[in-house]
Amino acid sequence: MAGDIKQRVLAKDVIAVCNTDFPTPGMVEFVGELGFDVLFVDCEQSSTDFGLVEELGRAARLANMASVLRPWSNDPGLINRYLSCGMGGIQAAHIRNVEDAQRILDGVRHWDKGDYREKIFVLMVETKEAVDNLPALLKLGEFDVFYIGQNDLAESMGLKGDRKNPKVRALVEDSIKRVADAGKIAGMNVQDEIDEVRRYMDIGLRWINVHQKQFMARGSKAFLKSIR
């Protein structure tokens, strides 16, 4: 079942990923019914605990979605525990080079609850060092998605808080193209750039992550403006 979902999702021309921001199982099912392909669960910058992770993974499967979780650490024991909670994949942050990535792969090979190859593995490219090492990272066949982290990339370039700086934009777009040209899946969180997503798709973006709160904010602001 897990492997079937992975193959179905990764075969899509465009993969729609939703971070529900304030996740509950009911909200996950709702998002799945809307047509999203992947649930993103953030355990690096949220209070989501192991019990809720298990419920969210179950809800995603019921909604025929894959689920991918970002842990707060790349410790293999922690990653394996999240996989055992039913997550369909891992989005690994803070990877600078092949050695960092290989440590994760070496750890999940010892996961004893199933075949780790049925899971989706997302490698975050979020530093200038990782971009410089992208040719070698792209040769790691066990990573399915190479995800560009705009904010952290800007910080690593000495431009913290300025992800729209032309230098950052140019490096982001070049990285997406390089991933796509290598025949891999390029991913990114489009944040407040929902209206520009087509431009990113034209240069190779396929794994498109959005925050549910962005849609809530847009709709709420339009409604409040109409009644005041």
Could you report the per-residue pLDDT of 175-190, keeping only the tens digit for each?
999 999 999 999 999 9
> Which tokens in the block code for residue 213?
């709160």
* DSSP letter (8 states) at residue 139: T
Is the Cα dihedral 132, 138, 142, 147 positive or negative? positive
Question: Which residues have a Cβ under 8 Å from the Cβ of 5 and sit 6 or more positions away?
Answer: 61, 64, 65, 66, 88
The two beta strands, 15-19 and 205-211, are: parallel
Name the burial class of residue 67, with classes exposed (0-12), middle (13-18) and buried (19+) by CB atoms within 10 angstroms of its CB. Answer: buried
pLDDT given at position 201: 96
Regions of the chain short of the pLDDT cut 70: 1
φ/ψ of residue 191, rounded to 5: 45, -120
What pLDDT does 3 receive? Answer: 75
What pLDDT score was predicted for residue 195? 80
Cα four-point dihedral sign 94, 212, 191, 117? positive
Q: Write the CATH number of the domain with boundaries 2-227.
A: 3.20.20.60
**Is 61:10 a contact under the CB 8 Å cutoff?**
no
d(CA 174, CA 57): 34
pLDDT of residue 193: 79
8 Å CB contact between 154 and 137: no
Select from 196, 110, 187 the least CA-distant residue to 147: 187
Please name every residue paired with 69 in a beta bridge, in sequence order, or none if there are none: 41, 90
pLDDT of 192 reads 77
Residue 206, phi then psi, degrees to nearest 5: -120, -35
The pLDDT score that the predictor gives to residue 224 is 96
Q: pLDDT value at position 167?
A: 96
Give the dihedral sign, CA 165/168/172/178.
positive
Q: In the chain, where are the structural domains located?
A: 2-227
The pLDDT value recorded for residue 82 is: 97
What pLDDT score was predicted for residue 1? Answer: 56
Q: Which of 71, 74, 57, 70 is nearest to 23 (CA)?
A: 57
DSSP code at position 161: T
